[in-house]
Amino acid sequence: MNASNIVEVISDFVSLRKTGTSYKGLCPFHDDRTPSFSVSPVKGVYKCFSCGAAGNVVKFIMEHEQLTYPEALKWLANKYHIEVHERELTSEEKQQENERESMFLVNEWAAKYFNDILHNDVDGMAIGMQYFRSRGFRDDIIHKFQLGFCLSGRHAFADAALKAGFQKEFLVKTGLCFERENGELVDRFNGRVMFPWLSVSGKVTAFGGRLLDSRTKGVSQKYVNSPDSVVYHKERELYGIYQAKKAIAKHDLVYMVEGYTDVVSMHQCGIENVVANSGTALSVHQIRLLHRFTSNIVLLYDGDAAGQHAALRGTDMLLAEAMNVKVLLLPDGKDPDEFARSYSAEDFRKYIEDNQTDFIVFKINVLLKGVTDPIKRSEAVGSIVQSISVIKDPILRDTYIRECANRTGVSERTLMEQMNRNIYSNREQQTREQQQHRAADIEEQREEAQAMTSNQSASKVEQMLIQAVVRDGEKIIFRDVKDENSGQTYNLTVAQYIAYDLGSDNLGFSNELYTKILQEAVEHCGEEGFKAEEYFTQHADINIASVAVRLSVDRFQLAESLQVKETEQTLRDRVLHLVADLRLEYVSSRLKELNARLKQVKDPKEMQEIIEEIMKIQSLRSSLAKKTGSNILA
């Protein structure tokens, strides 16, 4: 954890911009359209001020990559080249691995197996490598994308995987094999060159396999992809995102292409900020993944009808997600793969910049080219206006409406009226969807609240008190306090005073994590160099670390010159007030319990005892109220 730079780690997944002493970006844990995700390199923590996600660098990796605590530590160790010594797992232990991790292990092993076959097997070199050489792929590019080859034959891969100790169950669940009715395992990708899919963090989630040219005659499906699984959902993944993410953030631009070889060839050409959706319709999940790194996208497709259709079907979703969209359809039936092999990176980029068109110009050219029928022309203009309607920026919408009017000959007023009708209709639809989501969220929260035990809840005063422990637990607020028994003097820190004061009446926090935080703060206060905030935000217990981060990070921070410095006296006064507030809460709660019991009791003697206790507690409550400045009305 000491070696990990939280800004560096999170930048692998989110494009961050420096603002003051912190960094901001779009939150990866919810649909974030304006940057609400803050990362503090000084404290080593992150917090989203919209959805509430918070934690340290380990918590981020755990949540983002769905890893356990030890797995997240291993991930960080690997990133910073720190060797982790561990023994080889036995067959029994492999079987006990959880399903998700087991599937990742199978995929990682399979990628290495296919790559090894490509480089060291006779057929792999003669068939698979020959194919990649025919495409002009260099060795460094083959290594970069972990390309490989699956041997011909129905069982070669399955036999090797079973021999290596992997279970049939996970070979089937990952889609690497499928099982016949008689229990026979068959290799899904036999005789194909292999393109592994890597997640943003570099984990192998799936594979794409391509038939070799000699076998594609008369075959409509050249490529076979892994089916959806626990670790892979095609609508959420982008081919090449792992290799491209840094270049995308650097250039603040991404090129979207259709196929694997388009991505690989463009990397070899020197253009690395490129990803592929691999022939499927672009999804909102994929767009939001890209939006973490950039708001600018160029759709780079073949100039044929299929390429035009692919560009058109993704445009509205990109615009609705506030992406700036440009389109370039390549000429002469060439695809990005062929273009990349013909141009240097500099020339290719210049060609794109010189020939890309704004989405509105592209859509007008495609939909209205050669159209003379009034009805079809009206439908085409309506489609263009609908695209403009989903844009959030009103100034940009107005600019596009003028452009559309100039190019189509339809009056600006007519287009504006239709656009406003579309916007109203879109908002109504969004409102209905939001209401449905809100109702589902409320129900989920209600169920969670019912499931929570009483000792997990905490009042606002408790939160403020434990916040004082997290932020200032080691600071001294009482000096030279004399022990009546021993006569010795000692100092009391914030944490020690709170524990002592509450403990004197057997009081404590209702939240178990708060209790643990207070106990540990007291235990470590005597250690030289102990800083409560640093200790708890980087705590090994990820739940304690998350609570500490939420309590330590403020949404708004004044410049250092404007901040009021808290003195020992003001800190002491604040802690004393909070402790008194907490006692007042306890007393008020006890008073309610007694009043409720009084209404139910029939025995005169018991009633008298309850009344006497109520009077004592009312007196105590009045005394505490004076200390805290509270007004007691009843």
Instruction: Using the predicted structure, report yes or no on whether residue 346 has a pLDDT greater than 50.
Output: yes
Choice between 276 and 281, residue whose per-residue pLDDT is larger: 276
Instruction: Using the predicted structure, report yes or no on whether residue 302 has a pLDDT greater than 60.
Output: yes
Burial class (CB in 10 A: 0-12, 13-18, 19+), 510: middle
Residue 201 has a pLDDT of 82
pLDDT confidence band for 213 (50 / 70 / 90) = low
Strands 223-225 and 254-257: unpaired
Q: What percent of the chain has pLDDT over 70?
A: 88
Single-letter amino acid code for the residue at 155: H
For the chain, give every domain's residue range.
Answer: 6-79, 91-232, 233-344, 356-434, 457-628
d(CA 477, CA 494): 6
Q: What is the pLDDT of residues 399-419, one digit of tens each?
A: 989 989 998 889 999 999 999
Residues 6+ apart with CB under 8 A from 336: 255, 257, 258, 262, 265, 266, 274, 300, 301, 330
Q: What percent of the chain has pLDDT over 90?
A: 28
Instruction: Using the predicted structure, report yes or no on whether residue 257 has a pLDDT greater than 60.
Output: yes
As a whole number, mean pLDDT of residues 228-243 equals 91
pLDDT confidence band for 88 (50 / 70 / 90) = low
Instruction: Using the predicted structure, report yes or no on whether residue 454 has a pLDDT greater than 50.
Output: no
d(CA 466, CA 479): 22
Q: Which of 20, 17, 52 is nearest to 35 (CA)?
A: 17
- Packing angle between helix 394-408 and helix 374-389, nearest 10 degrees? 160
Assign 363 to helix, strand or coil.
Answer: helix
| 36: β partners | none
Assign 310 to helix, strand or coil.
Answer: helix
CA 567 to chain centre: 39
Residue 606 has a pLDDT of 81
CATH 3.40.1360.10 fits 233-344, yes or no: yes
Question: Would the pTM of this model clear 0.75, i.e. be above it?
Answer: no
As a whole number, mean pLDDT of residues 477-503 equals 83
3-12, 93-102, 360-369: segment of lowest average pLDDT: 93-102
Q: Indicate the Cα dihedral angle 143, 147, 153, 154, nearest 10°.
A: 120
Instruction: Using the predicted structure, report yes or no on whether residue 214 has a pLDDT greater than 60.
Output: no
As a whole number, mean pLDDT of residues 612-627 equals 69
Q: What is the pLDDT of residues 29-67, one digit of tens each?
A: 887 778 889 998 888 899 988 888 888 998 898 888 767
Complete DSSP assignment for 452-511:
S-GGG---HHHHHHHHHHHHHTTSEEEEEEEPTTT--EEEEEHHHHHHHHHHTTT---SS
Q: Tell me which fold the domain 6-79 belongs to.
A: DNA Primase; Chain A (3.90.580)
Residue 277 has a pLDDT of 85
Spatial contact of 587 and 624, defined as CB atoms under 8 Å apart? yes
When the pLDDT of each residue in the chain is averaged and rounded to a whole number, the result is: 83
| 490: β partners | 481
Residue owning tokens 């991505």: 263
Burial class (CB in 10 A: 0-12, 13-18, 19+), 126: exposed
Q: What is the pLDDT of residues 89-102, one digit of tens each?
A: 566 555 555 788 88
As a whole number, mean pLDDT of residues 333-352 equals 84
Q: Is the dihedral of CA 328, 329, 332, 336 positive or negative?
A: positive
Length of the chain in residues, anyone? 634
Residue 153 has a pLDDT of 83
CATH 1.25.40.10 fits 91-232, yes or no: no
Burial class (CB in 10 A: 0-12, 13-18, 19+), 589: exposed
Residue 125 has a pLDDT of 94
